[in-house]
């Protein structure tokens, strides 16, 4: 069927702790804090994976890449995204566009956003103009504002 479309949304949170590496949107971020995680902790990619899996009605990232599995210890989340995109393409779906909102109090992400868009687009085999990454603080409110964690929402449109 031509012009068949699917929409999906994803959400993820990771806690921050001192002295850990921070990866977001496939990019290494200079930060005194990083994400507590079984994988590399790239919470933006995890939300994006869940959005794609949601559009495919294939469950969630924890189902496909369990954090109890040693296979995913410290894994580069770009590899998870590549596998999820492959699951979509095997079913005839490609990414139409993706839109990601990252809530993080610090550091400021604006300088990294072009790199994130390109990194995610490269893994998803689309042009960077199909990938939006937006960042916001929460005005020091809540767990994000207290610099205890980061939350990310992702929406994706799949087309075939
Ligand atoms: Mg996660």
| Domains with residue ranges and CATH for the chain | 5-159 (3.30.1330.50)
Q: What is the dihedral of CA 79, 80, 82, 85, to 10 degrees?
A: 180
Ligand 1 centroid, distance to 51 Cα (angstroms): 13
Ligand 1 centroid, distance to 48 Cα (angstroms): 10
Per-residue pLDDT 10s for the chain (160 aa) are: 568 999 999 999 999 999 999 999 999 999 999 999 989 999 999 999 999 999 999 999 999 998 888 888 889 999 999 999 999 999 999 999 999 999 999 999 999 999 999 999 999 999 999 999 999 999 999 999 999 999 999 999 999 9
Could you give the strand order of the β-sheet that contains 5-18, starting from the edge strand earlier in sequence? 33-35, 5-18, 149-159, 94-103, 131-136
Ligand 1 centroid, distance to 17 Cα (angstroms): 15
Ligand 1 centroid, distance to 42 Cα (angstroms): 7
Ligand 1 centroid, distance to 22 Cα (angstroms): 13
DSSP secondary structure, 30-88, as one string: --SEEE--SS---HHHHHHHHHHHHHHT---HHHHS-TT-GGGTT--HHHHHHHHHHHH
Tens-place pLDDT, residues 103-129: 999 999 999 999 999 999 999 999 999
């Amino acid at each position: 069927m031509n012009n068949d479309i699917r929409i999906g949304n994803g959400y993820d949170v990771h806690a921050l702790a001192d002295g850990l590496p921070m990866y977001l949107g496939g990019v290494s971020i200079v930060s005194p804090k990083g994400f507590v995680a079984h994988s590399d902790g790239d919470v933006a990619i995890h939300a994006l994976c869940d959005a794609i899996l949601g559009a495919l009605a294939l469950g969630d990232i924890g189902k496909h890449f369990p954090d109890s599995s040693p296979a995913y210890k410290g894994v580069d989340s770009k590899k998870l995204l590549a596998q999820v995109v492959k699951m979509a393409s095997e079913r005839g779906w490609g990414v139409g566009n993706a839109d990601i909102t990252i809530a993080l109090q610090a550091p400021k992400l604006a300088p990294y956003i072009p790199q994130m868009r390109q990194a995610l687009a490269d893994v998803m085999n689309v042009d960077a103009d199909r990938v939006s990454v937006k960042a916001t603080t929460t005005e020091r409110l809540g767990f994000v504002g207290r610099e205890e964690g980061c939350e990310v929402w992702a929406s994706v449109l799949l087309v075939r």
